[in-house]
Amino acid sequence: MREVMREGRTEPRVPLSTVVARPHAYGVGAIVELAGEITIVDGEVWVASVVDGSLRVTQKKERISGLATLLTVSHVERWQSAALPAAAHGPDLEALIESTARSLGIDSTRPFPIMLEGEAISLELHVINGYCPHGVDPATMNAQPWFWSSDRPGPVRLVGFYAPDAEGVMTHHGSSMHLHALIDDGERTITGHVDRVAVEVGTILRVPAVR
């Protein structure tokens, strides 16, 4: 992540077609030149980009042709799940995910894929547009990322990774998670990189099955 976001090394690295050729792929990342966000759930790929200031999410026939410059992916055949016992956000949510995953037998000292499904209390996300707003001030740039936020977004699916001690590699600085959101608002799919999220009690956490 540091090479791509801070050093500008946004060249092609991974064909998405090779990632989804193996079943049950789950991943998050960015396409070449930081021109959009990649979200993969069970081999299905969404690519979100900014076109004329608006969100564009690729159609199914377009999804497997792209190249990633940044991608974290895992292939998970079986998941296990537990309901989060409390509403949480920020560091509290990270701690709750870590403890819940550990109770399910996950080695929480190493990175592992996660999914969260439930009601979001609030959510903020962005879609990159040639650069990451975490590393570059959008006020200094001509191209602008696409931002979206809501204090009551309702049902949401989050996919990504819990990765302790992986700042600058798998996660942004100050976080142990790299998450993307998928929201169906009835008219379109909204997807992008999660900047902040708060989830309700009872949100389902899914982690890889260990037995």
Judgement on whether residues 38 and 69 belong to the same structural domain of the protein: yes
- In the predicted model, is pLDDT for residue 181 greater than 80? yes
Q: Is 71 in the same domain as 99?
A: no
Same domain, 83 and 185: yes
Looking at residue 153, what is its pLDDT? 78
Under 8 Å between Cβ of 11 and 143: no
Domain boundary among 27, 44, 75: 75
Q: How many domains does the chain have?
A: 2
Stronger pLDDT, 167 or 75, i.e. the higher one: 75
**Verdict on whether the full-model pTM lies above 0.85:** yes
Q: What is the pLDDT of residues 99-118, one digit of tens each?
A: 999 999 999 999 999 999 99
Cα separations (Å) of 92 from 121, 158, 171, 184? 14, 17, 17, 26
Listed in sequence order, the residues at least 6 apart from 153 whose beta carbon sits closer than 8 Å to its beta carbon are: 120, 122, 123, 183
Instruction: Please give the average per-residue pLDDT across 117-143, as a whole number.
Output: 92
